[in-house]
Amino acid sequence: MSGAAPRLGFVGLGVMGAPMCANLARKAGAAVTCFDLDPARAGGPREAGAAVAPSVAALAQAADIVFLCLADGRATESVGAEVLRTWTAAGRRGTLTDTGTTSVHVTQSLAALAAAGGHAFADAPVARMPEAAIAGTLSIMAGGSAGTLDTLMPYLRCMGTDITHCGPVGAGQVVKILHNTFLFETVHALAEVLAIARRHGVDGEVLFHAIELGSADGRAVRVQGRQALLPGDFPGGRFPARYALKDVSLALELAEAAGVAAAVGRHTADILARSCDAGHGDRYYPVLYTQIDTQIDTQAATAR
């Protein structure tokens, strides 16, 4: 990178990426350029002061540090490689940072490509709800060298309030994947106990209130439990079941490599897969409750 003020780029302006990029544009004190395949998604970042590039290559030419926030691992690998090739062809050195939740294989592949061209790489996947992306209060789990993280820290702090350096490249993805999987397993358990309680005539509000007063209290009860499971509200536009299935599948890959059976994760992956097969793949992932509910009804009908 050259100059005292690195130029920033941001690719992927979805539900999380658009507000993250807008926060960078407002707070970083640096030029920000963004890109998304859907130009309509650039509205918020543009209003915050970001320029809009016509292509990934054009963005790479205009930026020294590029953040990726893409939901698909193949897209992350393809876009990241294009950014790195553009820098290398121009004889420049840059820093590529993946803020999405990506397989460790893709992370290591991009890191190797970056190192071969003399570039820096970090994985910095983000957690918390879209509201936190808007407020700039995300939790960020970062993997990379201390020097790379020092370079990125002022910009990560534009998007998040809690940045954890998890270890070398790939460690951020491991921690984020396991974080997500633990949450999905917890919501799965909440959905099960709610369905069982209702079949025994206990109101879900009573159940969750008692859980909150005991040792099982947790954020999942107050957020996914109260906001989604109790009212049966599973809209599109929030973290969808198909993304949850992707993340749990990544966790199962990690478990297999570690020689761990991961029975709980496999059960959660199965119910998420059934939710997607039932046409709920784009709905908020606590929609997995509907599969539990249906299964109970089916078993009761069979018993009769």
Catalytic residue set: 176
Q: What is the DSSP string of 71-122?
A: S-HHHHHHHHHHHHHHHHHTT---EEEE-S---HHHHHHHHHHHHHTT-EEE
Give yes or no for a contact between 63 and 7, defined as CB atoms under 8 angstroms apart: yes
29: left (phi over 0), alpha (psi -120 to 50) or beta: left
Give the Cα separation of 74 and 66 in Å (integer): 17
